[in-house]
Amino acid sequence: MKLRQQTLGAVKRLVVKVGTGVLTGAGAAPVVAQIAALRQQGKQVILVSSGAIAAGMAALGLKQRPKKLEQLQACAAIGQGKLMAGYDALFGKHNLHVAQVLLTHDDLRSRHRHLNARNTLLQLLTDGVIPIINENDTVAVDEIKFGDNDRLSALVATLVDADLLVILSHIEGLWDRDKKRIPIVPAITRDIESLAGGTDRLTSVGGMKSKIEAAKIVTRAGTPLVIADGERADVLAAILAAEDVGTLFLPKSARLESRKRWIAFFQKSAGTIVVDDGAKRALCDGGKSLLAKGVTRTEGDFAPGDVVSICGADGAEFARGLVRDGDVIVHRDDLVIL
């Protein structure tokens, strides 16, 4: 309880992600009512909502999620308007305005567009509006997709310096191998990752595996995450009251500054630099820049200004950075230890 209170007691700005399973179960009205209650308490809330493709599927009479990209895009085009119309009506009952924000990965990869998106979202929050975010599935292709709304919600929370990310699903949290809920995850270890599975729902993507990936992003950025049952009554109030609800993933102690978050999480690696053990120690423990003499090999075609993955001799990525031209391959100011 004390650890939860320390982590969640001062939340002012939060991102709430609602999965398709919640929307097709209890529906959106209970979540909307809870968000409205948080707004009355002066908290700023961004909603990342799944459901557009499912709404389009329902309109077309489809029972299973289509596999072809053009079919998914068509469902999104049909369902996005229906989803927003529903939210507009529900939030309107609480005298709240909503704003639709559709994003692709390209929107946040460009530094200029990244900052524009951040500024727009922060202005909407200042104006008391509820931003409702979804991936722009109508135009997104594999190369520019976030992958799923769990990851998207993590990136949005990172983008706006949220104090908390809440992922509401149809499960009560992360289970251990005995099917018991794990209350708190201090760090995401290989054992924790091994507990994650996909989803068997016909209208959804993701599952616990994508939620763990989201947790890795936000906790490294310095933001806590709670995964909880979206159909539980007043679940958001219970979380913010530090009750033993869901699974709390604790953040790293230091919050990354904005530019390093952009390097670490909003870029797709253009290649890989493999370094020797001495260089790895210098980067991780010594706070040094990456010099050419520490590089054992490179993979991919990249140039100065590109973001690359930095791996040890075992091939595991432990850092990312912006490549420079010269003996200093990646300067410390452009380097993020993952």
**pLDDT-based confidence at residue 164 (cuts at 50, 70, 90):** very high
Single-letter code of the amino acid located at 257: E
Confidence of residue 142 (pLDDT cuts 50, 70, 90): low
Quote the CA–CA distance of 156 and 159 in Å, as a whole number: 5
Q: What is the pLDDT of residue 21?
A: 77
- What are 117-139's pLDDT values in tens digits? 999 999 999 999 999 998 876 66
Q: Supply the mean pLDDT for the chain.
A: 89
312 is written with which tokens?
Answer: 């040890």
The verdict on domain 269-337 having CATH code 1.10.10.350 is: no
Average pLDDT over residues 105-116: 87
How is the chain split into domains, by residue range?
Answer: 2-259, 269-337
Mean pLDDT along residues 2-6? 91
Name the more confident of 189 and 135: 189
CATH 3.40.1160.10 fits domain 2-259: yes
Q: Tell me what the mean pLDDT of segment 301-320 comes to.
A: 92
Spell out where 190-281 has E strands: 225-229, 247-249, 272-275
* CB burial of residue 100 (10 Å; 0-12, 13-18, 19+): middle
Structure confidence at residue 96 as a pLDDT band (50, 70, 90): very high
Please determine, for residue 203, whether its predicted confidence score (pLDDT) is greater than 60: no
Gyration radius of the chain's alpha carbons: 20
> Which of 59-63, 73-77, 133-137, 214-218 has the lowest average pLDDT?
133-137
Contact status, residue 207 vs residue 199, Cβ threshold 8 Å: yes
Q: Is 180 exposed, middle or buried (0-12, 13-18, 19+ CB in 10 A)?
A: exposed
User: Is 146 a residue whose pLDDT tops 80?
Assistant: no
pLDDT at 254: 76
pLDDT at 48: 96
91-95, 233-237, 265-269: least confident range: 265-269
State the pLDDT confidence band at 204, using cuts at 50, 70 and 90. very low
Residue 215 near residue 189, CB atoms below 8 Å = no
Lowest mean pLDDT among 63-72, 118-127, 278-287: 63-72
Query: How confident is the model at residue 106, as a pLDDT?
Result: 80
Higher confidence at residue 56 or residue 196? Answer: 56
| Window from 66-80, 150-164, 240-254, 270-284 with minimum mean pLDDT | 66-80
Average of per-residue pLDDT across 93-110: 90
For residues 268-280, give the mean pLDDT: 93
